[in-house]
Chains A and B, each alone.
Chain A
Amino acid sequence: MNTQNCFHCGNDIVKTEEILFEDKSFCCLGCKTVYEIFSQNDLTSYYDFEKAPGATPQEVHGKYDFLDNREIVSRLLEFEEETVHIVSLYIPHIHCSSCIWILENLQKLQKGISQSQVNFSQKKVRITYDPQLTDLKTIVLLLNAIGYEPYISLENYEGIRKTVDRSLIYKIGVAFFCFGNIMLLSFPEYFEVGEYWIDQYKDFFRWLIFALSLPAFFYSGWGYYVSAWKSIQSRMLSIDIPIALGIIVMFVRSTVDIVFDYGQGFFDSMCGLIFFMLLGKLFQQKTYSFLSFERDYKSYFPIAVTKINRDGREEATQVYDVEKGDRLLIRNQELIPVDGILISENAYIDYSFVTGEEVPIAKKSGDKIFAGGKQIGKVIEMEVLHSVSQSYLTQLWSNEVFQKKTNLKYKTITDTVSRYFTPALLLLAFISFGYWIFIDTNTAFNVFTAILIVACPCALALTAPFTLGNVLRIMGNRKLYLKNATVIEQMAKVDTIVFDKTGTITSNKKSAIAYEGTPLQEKEIGKLKNLLRASNHPLSRRLYDFLPVMELLEIREFEEITGKGIRAIVANSEIRLGSATFVGSSKTEKSKQTNVHVSIDGEYKGKFTFDNQYREGLEKLFKRLSRKYSLTVLSGDNEGERDNLTQLLPAGTILVFNQKPEEKLAYIKELQEKGCNVMMIGDGLNDAGALAQSNVGISISENVNVFSPACDGILDASQFSKISYFLKYSHNAMKTIMMSFGLSLLYNAVGLSFAVTGNLSPLVAAIIMPLSTITIVSFVTVMSNLYARKERN
């Protein structure tokens, strides 16, 4: 066992805070308590499956009081009966087999729970309980107490149940059933030509095959006819037209063949074709069900807030029921759901969620506060000005430009190729028909249909789904989760990349602060802390949070000199804090890091060094990207970092500051109107509009389970420096597709040479079709894996 890490959560243990319990060491009381709960209930197997699988339980005080409200609870429930309630809860922490085990043994921890079932890929647990023995609040608090806090937001309240669409799987099942049986029934005629018994039974075989092909033709293939018809109507030559044409011609010609006893027809090829193409669709459909790419403000908003009634009682109220004039209580880290006026003396509100500005804003009693901010610190009271639907954030979101354009017609690479392929195919069919008609009418019809059958672009249509589906998976393994396969095509077309600053190229984590110089005594630290309390400068706030809590001291003659530092007399000693020259240090040094120097009573003590908060590999990444792409950094912050950034980033990078969410969106739009393909990389809600407007919107997330705005892809923050790799890989994916197109056209040429000369037999078709499919699928799989390996570093 590792003594350095907490037995429960695996975090590093600070030696002074180490807690020993039953020979195991824990980092904090919370972790120890969870262990105690488990060990009392004989559930310590939890620690056998994975090492340190847990999470530290968070403090909740009254956060879930709204679950006392019957109405809210019944909206959350999936099933409600007198003695049985079923609820599905989303738990972001679910990540390993230990999690599954403990959550499926909840009935041992809480009476009344009869069953709990985990869906790992959706990170959900479905709990069945008896409402007479326990209630939802108890269960949620229990989950929280063992470190599995569920995430309940306004979105759950809306309760839109998604119906799962499984029709593709049914279609594949039916197509495979038909394909398999028809293939077997076709063999006798392929191999036993002219034998006596075949002649006797062939009608039976053929009509059985015909009957078996009907479900595949009418049910499984239906989607292709519909989409072909749609693309004809919108005058787009999509790949579905030759596919649908091929299937229909195959079916009609085969039926004619068996009716007039010309031959056995192409039913096996037809069903195989439908089956393989549906399989390609399924392969491309890979989704990350635990991530959501279509979020709106509802998934951030709490379900309920604490309202203070006229008689002073606190009551949990549904946010939609909040009206103008109500008084609300907002706790530490809670989101303010509506616009209002601050009643408490003062508040620190973090608007990073809306504006991207990370420094909390101080508000005084009577100030207006807007929805979307998070209160930091103590509990505040506010009076409501607008209801939820009329608040700033909701209005901003309802703004039309902020909606992701879903039905934006996008031409895929396959459609582009098919624009040439389809007319060429039809032309060839008609020319051959025109040639043969003068020789033999019968052969002319044969050749005409044979061309359409053999050229049916099965391999062509499969290329993109299999390549992109595979690339999607490989990128997912490397922690870039894309919404769907078309995003890869879009990525390959990008020529301009726009970065957000805060949270994207900078890290959200509190950067480390180090002290260098004469060691400070506790008293001196106390004095510093008191001086910092008075200052609102971002660096002061960070340093203030860094220093340990000390008693309050009296401050006199406080002065803040912009651009230099702060000074005051604290408990009779003069303290200066700021730039080297300001505190009177003789040392002048050039350093990329931000330093704050300290002097006490005129004596230089040392400096606090703030670690560079930019992400690792930022310089290298920008350098690599600047060769191929034009780069822009858009920031909601003020110009404070301009000098630092110009130094850090390659020349030619455009820096734009003071951008509101709408302006970011407008900036992207402007670039697009100039003909650029823009990739936007951002994080918070303040980038939501820009992410939606851009051709490819990638959201950066420190923890992919936490929510990110609507986007095309989510990138794990640790992979930030690999952006150039992903872009290059998308280019290579397109290259693979082009090569594979060449290969499938080669197959088409071979098949067509049979067809044009009038020699296409069902056997040839039955061989060429699966052979080309298998070649293409294995080719693109090998190529995309090869490219992925090559570019790894």
Chain B
Amino acid sequence: MSVIYILISISIVVAAVFLYVFIKAVKSGQFDDDYTPSVRMLFDDELQKDNKQKTETKIEKQN
């Protein structure tokens, strides 16, 4: 049954790692803005639709 020492130690270490990751995430400001990222992730498809070459030439024309 002494395997329980190892198992519990592992489980605590795993939990501690999660706590560490959580604190790091908070510190880096990930939870400061809880709205914009939820909208931003929906844009990705739109961005790929744009034809890059065309965009660049158009910009140059405008300048």
Contact = CB atoms under 8 A, between A and B. Distances in A.
A100 interface: yes
Interface stretch (A164-172, A234-242, A552-560): A164-172
A121 B34 contact: yes
A260 interface: no
A177 B15 contact: yes
A108 interface: yes
B62 A169 contact: no
Contacts of B15: 177, 180-181
A697 to B, nearest CB: 28
A397 interface: no
A169 B32 CA distance: 11
A610 B62 CA distance: 48
Interface in B13-60: 15-16, 18-19, 22-23, 26-27, 29, 31-36, 39-40, 42-43, 46-47, 49-51, 54-55, 58-59
A104 B42 CA distance: 13
Contacts of B8: 185, 208
Contact of A173 (B26, B55, B63): B26
A119 interface: yes
Given A111-B63, A181-B15, A208-B8, A45 B23 contact: no
Interface stretch (A68-76, A197-205, A415-423, A771-779): A197-205
Contact of A118 (B29, B36, B51, B59): B36
A48 B51 CA distance: 17
Contacts of A101: 43, 46
B27 to A, nearest CB: 7
A100 B26 contact: no
A97 B58 contact: no
Q: Which of B11, B22, B36, B62 has the most CB of A within 10 A?
A: B36
B29 to A, nearest CB: 7
A121 B23 contact: no
Given A166-B26, A166-B27, A170-B23, A181 B12 contact: yes
A627 B43 CA distance: 53
A108 B52 CA distance: 10
Contacts of A104: 40, 43
B19 A97 contact: no
A122 interface: yes
A100 B43 CA distance: 10
Contact of A97 (B16, B39, B51): B39
A180 B15 CA distance: 9
B22 A164 contact: no
Contact of A41 (B32, B39, B46, B59): B59
Contact of A121 (B29, B33, B49): B33
A177 B19 contact: yes
A200 B1 CA distance: 10
Contacts of A121: 33-36
Nearest to B32: A164
A200 B29 CA distance: 46
A715 B18 CA distance: 42
Given A181-B12, A181-B15, A42 B35 contact: no
A177 B31 CA distance: 18
A166 B24 CA distance: 11
B1 A173 contact: no
B35 A169 contact: no
A43 to B, nearest CB: 8
Contacts of B23: 170, 173
A201 B49 CA distance: 62
A197 B46 CA distance: 61
A178 B54 CA distance: 56
Q: How large is the interface on A (under 10, 10 to 19, 20 to 34, 35 or more residues)?
A: 35 or more
B62 to A, nearest CB: 6
Given A41-B55, A164-B32, A204 B19 contact: no
B40 A174 contact: no
Interface in A85-144: 97, 100-101, 104-105, 108-109, 111, 117-122
A406 interface: no
A41 B4 contact: no
Contact of A201 (B4, B12, B39): B4
A40 interface: yes
Interface string A530-568: 000000000000000000000000000000000000000
B31 A169 contact: yes
B39 A100 contact: yes
Most buried by B among A100, A117, A185: A100
Given A169-B31, A177-B19, A42 B55 contact: yes
Nearest to A119: B33
A170 B31 CA distance: 12
A40 B19 contact: no
A9 B1 CA distance: 72
Nearest to A45: B46
Nearest to A99: B39
A118 B43 CA distance: 13
A207 to B, nearest CB: 12
B19 A42 contact: no
Contacts of B22: 173
B36 A42 contact: no
A141 to B, nearest CB: 14
A181 B31 CA distance: 24
B8 to A, nearest CB: 7
A97 B46 CA distance: 13
Contact of A177 (B16, B34, B40, B51): B16
B36 A120 contact: yes
Contacts of A200: 1
Contacts of B62: 40-41
Contacts of A174: 19
B33 A122 contact: yes
Contacts of A111: 59, 63
Interface in A191-220: 197, 200-201, 204, 208, 212
A121 B26 CA distance: 17
A400 B15 CA distance: 53
A41 B58 contact: yes
A108 B54 CA distance: 11
Contacts of A41: 55, 58-59, 62
A126 to B, nearest CB: 11
A42 B50 contact: yes
Contacts of B50: 42, 45
9 contacts: A40-B62, A45-B50, A111-B59, A120-B35, A122-B33, A166-B31, A177-B16, A177-B19, A181-B12
Given A42-B54, A166-B31, A208-B12, 10 more contacts: A45-B50, A100-B40, A104-B43, A105-B47, A111-B59, A117-B36, A121-B33, A170-B26, A173-B26, A201-B4
